[in-house]
């Protein structure tokens, strides 16, 4: 992962600094139980044990929404980054959504969706929103976006939205985000602690009843301003190995990895086994969408939108592109052999990419499966089809089929 990040950093054009971003989702509740150490005088007949100091319904204790948080190593950029609050239609009424939109800060976006869970469609919309903010305030400045290995984050539709936004995606290895990702190591703990304190303060005032959605969103907006926007995160990125200049790790991380010091990364991409260790087991890795935008220095997104490509297109930062990215350009043997045609660039067919040595499956899963089985693109041959699955159960002679007992 860090070698991948160093390769991204080497692709940044000379004289520019890349924005280093981190995005992740967290669940935000309407109510948090009292923690140990909070004491209250009990009257006669009170039940023993820890109890809530206010009347709280079961429905209030179960309400929660998703906060798509984004932090950056640049404090000026951090103040304008979008923070998306994703609520379900059952939790947030339409009239409340319209009333709250005018009260929230301009960078806090409240979305009402059929589900409060993050989907490919909603996440692609987040990437488009991030691209609009970056293009409006910092046009032409490359951005490296760090995310965990959730399949929604590196789905083809999301990666295409990231390419159009000018964002280079970096995936944190699976099951390692709790000690590698800046949001998980330092940010979310401060955020949840401050939010708990704000909700407890809001519950101590006013009537003894459930907090309204307006008051909860007001607490969230104040915590976003104070914690996410008011805290400089550059040192956190550097301690986790995502610094702009040199590679360094915090002592606790070195001890966890059984390293005495941070190793030298070099300027090349990780090998194919190293890439496979980053993603979940037996995952299809979209190398083209991941590596091509950085290998072409951001011109791949312009070509996909139909703009003509320059005749001497060279990857930003100099040097030869990775084989996975170079194999996707038909007729390109090096950085100076790009085609000067004004036709929009399109990925080649799967057999051409496979013959060029592209690691992994270059096209769709079904197409690649037929390709590995030696069939044509129109269909699978009869001899390679799997035999028809037998029905579940057994048929007695001269009688109907009875299901087998599962005991």
* DSSP assignments along 232-280, one per residue: --HHHHHHBT--SSS--B-HHHHHHHT-SSPPP--SSPPPHHHHHHHSP
What share of the chain has pLDDT > 90, as a percent? 32
pLDDT of res. 358: 43
pLDDT of res. 347: 40
Name which of 54, 323, 283 is nearest 149 in CA terms. Answer: 283
pLDDT of res. 313: 37
- CB burial class (10 A; 0-12, 13-18, 19+) of residue 11? buried
**195 three-class SS:** helix
What's the rounded Cα separation, in Å, for the pair 395 and 401?
4
pLDDT of res. 271: 87
pLDDT of res. 102: 81
Helix (H) / strand (E) element for 294: namely helix 287-295
Residue with tokens 């001269």: 398
* Nearby residues of 255 by Cβ (< 8 Å), 6 or more positions away: none
Domain covering 1-30+61-336+352-376: architecture = 2-Layer Sandwich (3.30)
- What are residue 23's DSSP bridge partners? 70
The DSSP letter of residue 291 is H
pLDDT of res. 265: 81
* Nearby residues of 138 by Cβ (< 8 Å), 6 or more positions away: 19, 77
**53 three-class SS:** coil
Domain boundaries, the chain: 1-30+61-336+352-376
* E strand spans, 98-243: 108-113, 143-147, 167-171
Q: What angle do CA 52, 57, 58 make, to 5 degrees?
A: 100
Enter the tokens of residue 45: 């007949």
Question: What distance lies between CA 135 and its chain's CA centroid?
Answer: 20
CB 287 within 8 A of CB 324: yes
pLDDT averages per 10-residue partition of the chain, 407 residues: 90 87 93 64 57 70 91 92 92 85 89 90 94 89 92 92 92 90 93 91 79 89 93 92 87 89 83 89 87 72 40 38 42 34 39 43 44 43 47 50 50
Residue with tokens 């040097």: 319
pLDDT of res. 244: 85
pLDDT of res. 342: 36
Quick: pLDDT tens for 191-202: 999 999 998 888
* Nearby residues of 286 by Cβ (< 8 Å), 6 or more positions away: 154, 156, 159, 360
- What global pTM score does this model have? 0.71
Quick: pLDDT tens for 119-160: 999 999 999 999 999 998 888 888 999 999 999 999 999 999
Enter the tokens of residue 318: 């100099």
Question: What distance lies between CA 407 and its chain's CA centroid?
Answer: 44
What's the rounded Cα separation, in Å, for the pair 214 and 85?
13
What's the rounded Cα separation, in Å, for the pair 240 and 183?
11
Phi, psi for 249 (deg, rounded to 5):
-130, 150
What's the rounded Cα separation, in Å, for the pair 104 and 26?
19
Phi, psi for 193 (deg, rounded to 5):
-65, -45
């Amino acid at each position: 992962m860090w070698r991948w990040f160093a390769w991204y950093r080497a692709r940044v054009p000379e004289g520019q600094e890349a924005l280093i971003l981190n995005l992740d989702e967290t669940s935000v509740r309407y109510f948090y139980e009292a923690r140990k150490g909070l004491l209250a005088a009990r009257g006669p007949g009170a039940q023993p044990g820890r109890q809530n100091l206010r009347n709280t319904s079961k429905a209030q204790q179960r309400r929660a929404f998703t906060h798509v948080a984004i932090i950056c190593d640049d404090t000026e950029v951090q103040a304008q980054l979008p923070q998306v609050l994703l609520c379900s239609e059952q939790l947030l009424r339409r009239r409340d959504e319209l009333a709250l939109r005018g009260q929230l800060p301009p960078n806090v976006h409240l979305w009402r969706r059929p589900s409060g869970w993050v989907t490919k469609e909603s996440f692609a919309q987040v990437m488009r929103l991030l691209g609009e903010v970056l293009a409006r305030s910092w046009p032409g400045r490359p951005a490296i976006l760090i995310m965990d290995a959730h399949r929604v984050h590196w789905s083809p539709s999301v990666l295409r939205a990231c390419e159009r936004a000018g964002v280079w995606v970096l995936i944190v290895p699976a099951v390692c985000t709790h000690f590698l990702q800046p949001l998980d190591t330092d940010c979310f703990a401060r955020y949840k602690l401050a939010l708990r304190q704000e909700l407890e303060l809001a519950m101590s005032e006013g009537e003894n009843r459930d907090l309204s959605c307006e008051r909860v969103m007001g607490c969230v907006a104040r915590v976003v301003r104070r914690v996410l926007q008011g805290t400089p995160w550059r040192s956190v990125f550097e301690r986790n190995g995502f610094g702009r200049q040199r590679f360094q790790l915090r002592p606790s991380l070195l001890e966890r990895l059984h390293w005495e010091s941070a190793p030298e990364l070099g300027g090349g991409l990780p090998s194919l086994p190293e890439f496979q260790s980053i993603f979940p087991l037996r995952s299809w890795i979209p190398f083209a969408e991941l590596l091509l935008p950085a290998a072409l220095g951001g011109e791949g997104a312009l070509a996909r939108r139909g703009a003509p490509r320059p005749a001497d297109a060279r990857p930003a930062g100099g040097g030869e592109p990775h084989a996975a990215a170079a194999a996707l350009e038909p007729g390109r043997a090096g950085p100076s052999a790009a085609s000067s045609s004004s036709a929009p660039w399109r990925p080649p067919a799967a057999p051409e990419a496979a013959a060029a040595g592209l690691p992994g499956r270059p096209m769709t899963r079904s197409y690649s499966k037929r390709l590995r089985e030696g069939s044509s693109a129109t269909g699978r041959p009869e001899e390679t089809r799997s035999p028809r699955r037998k029905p579940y159960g057994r048929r007695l002679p001269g009688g109907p089929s009875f299901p087998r007992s599962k005991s």
